[in-house]
Chain A
Amino acid sequence: EVQLVESGGGLVQPGRSMKLSCAASGFTFSNYGMAWVRQAPTKGLEWVATISYDGSSTYYRDSVKGRFTISRDNAKSTLYLQMNSLRSEDTATYYCTRELMGAWDYWGQGVMVTVSS
């Protein structure tokens, strides 16, 4: 059974950093591109960042470029999102997702990140 389990969220002050992790199991992690998608409270979905199966390519939305870094450790089957210089508008539930034909076929349960003083 495919499982994606996020961790590392919580309350953080504006300007500070936070690192999210996503532990994957039930599939060969190193064969799949992965992504982070977020959802602000009572809002829609927003793609954040994507990483290729081998980590050689990464993509970011403009609003997080230069502040967020997506990475992966295929030996540990774990996806990461390092978030620096956090802003109030980054407040959201962050989902770890697996890529299938450009769509995302498995999602984690989500982890809440609240940026507030």
Chain B
Amino acid sequence: DIQMTQSPASLSASLGETVTIECLASEDIYSNLAWYQQKPGKSPQLLIYYANSLNDGVPSRFSGSGSGTQYSLKINSLQSEDVSIYFCQQNYDSPPWTFGGGTKLELK
């Protein structure tokens, strides 16, 4: 199984700041990487698919990048509504499709 290691596990940032979350795959996943946002008590929502494609309706302050085994999610100009847990997920080749452990983003 492909292991996804996400960092940091938690993060505290100020309004307006730029935040970056990293995800490391245990093998090359050829950009088959998605990012999700889960607000407290809610279902996850897809932010980014195929490493850097923004899902419909997602604010442009969110962006994804990376290749091979290393990927990142960047949030520009942090807003209060961005307080959430963020998960990466690989969907390369055959199952099981696996998630990172999550990054809890809080306001400083």
Contacts and interface: CB of A to CB of B under 8 A. Distances in A.
The main secondary structure of chain B at its interface with chain A is loop
A103 B50 CA distance: 8
Contacts of B55: 100, 105
A61 B95 CA distance: 7
A100 B56 CA distance: 12
A70 to B, nearest CB: 12
Contacts of B91: 102-103
Contacts of B43: 95, 107-110
Interface residues of B, number: 24
Given A101-B49, A103-B46, A110-B43, A47 B87 contact: no
18 contacts: A44-B100, A45-B44, A45-B89, A45-B102, A47-B95, A47-B97, A47-B98, A60-B95, A95-B43, A100-B46, A100-B49, A102-B49, A102-B50, A102-B91, A105-B49, A106-B46, A107-B44, A107-B45
Interface of A: 37, 44-47, 50, 59-62, 95, 100-110
Interface of B: 32, 34, 36, 43-46, 49-50, 53, 55, 87, 89, 91-92, 94-102
B95 A103 contact: no
B50 A45 contact: no
Contacts of A107: 43-45
Contacts of B53: 101
Q: Which 4 A/B pairs are nearest by Cβ-Cβ distance? A: A102-B91, A103-B34, A103-B49, A107-B43
